[in-house]
């Protein structure tokens, strides 16, 4: 498996509770490298664009409101099989179903406030990375 990049967000529930260092330690503990990172406060328009794929879902409005309510940390993670590896350490979307040892099991509050986001496929990773980072901000 080749080296891959994935896009990650440490969500408002994590930044509010000062968990960015603890979550980064779990990410780095898997061997993934944080090759770009910045703290941003998304506008509702930015959050709406980011989650446009969920526009028709009943939770879309609440999701956009939550993601634009406080700062987040956006990241690019790099490593072998990075997309699947990050999804594994994140755990299930709903923390009630998340396995022991995962970020969401340790820290998520609910399905909406689930501490982290990670890309689900190479195509979405490329789109999501490009929404927040230009090429020279990513240093592998």
Q: Which residues are catalytic?
A: 117
Residue whose CB is less far from ligand CMP, 30 or 59? 59
Answer yes or no: are the C-beta atoms of 117 and 76 closer than 8 Å: no
Site map (CB under 6 A) of ligand CMP, residues 95-134, x = contact: ----------------xx-x--x-----------------
58 SS3 class: coil
Positions 27 through 66 that interact with ligand CMP (CB under 6 A): 54, 59, 63
CA distance 42 to 109: 21
Element containing residue 21 per DSSP (H, E)? helix 20-29
**Residue numbers at the binding site for ligand CMP (CB under 6 A):** 54, 59, 63, 93, 111-112, 114, 117
């Amino acid at each position: 498996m080749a080296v891959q990049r994935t896009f990650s967000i440490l969500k408002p529930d994590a930044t509010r509770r000062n968990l960015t260092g603890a979550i980064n330690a779990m990410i780095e503990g898997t061997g993934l490298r944080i090759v770009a990172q910045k703290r941003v406060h998304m506008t509702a328009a930015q959050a709406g664009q980011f989650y446009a794929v969920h526009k028709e879902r009943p939770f879309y409005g609440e999701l956009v409101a939550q993601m634009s309510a406080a700062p987040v940390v956006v990241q690019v993670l790099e490593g072998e099989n990075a997309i699947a590896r990050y999804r594994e350490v994140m755990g299930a979307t709903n923390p009630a179903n998340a396995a022991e040892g995962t970020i969401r099991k340790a820290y998520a509050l609910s399905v909406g406030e689930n501490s982290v986001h990670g890309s689900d496929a190479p195509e979405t990773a490329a789109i999501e990375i490009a929404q927040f980072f230009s090429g020279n901000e990513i240093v592998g």
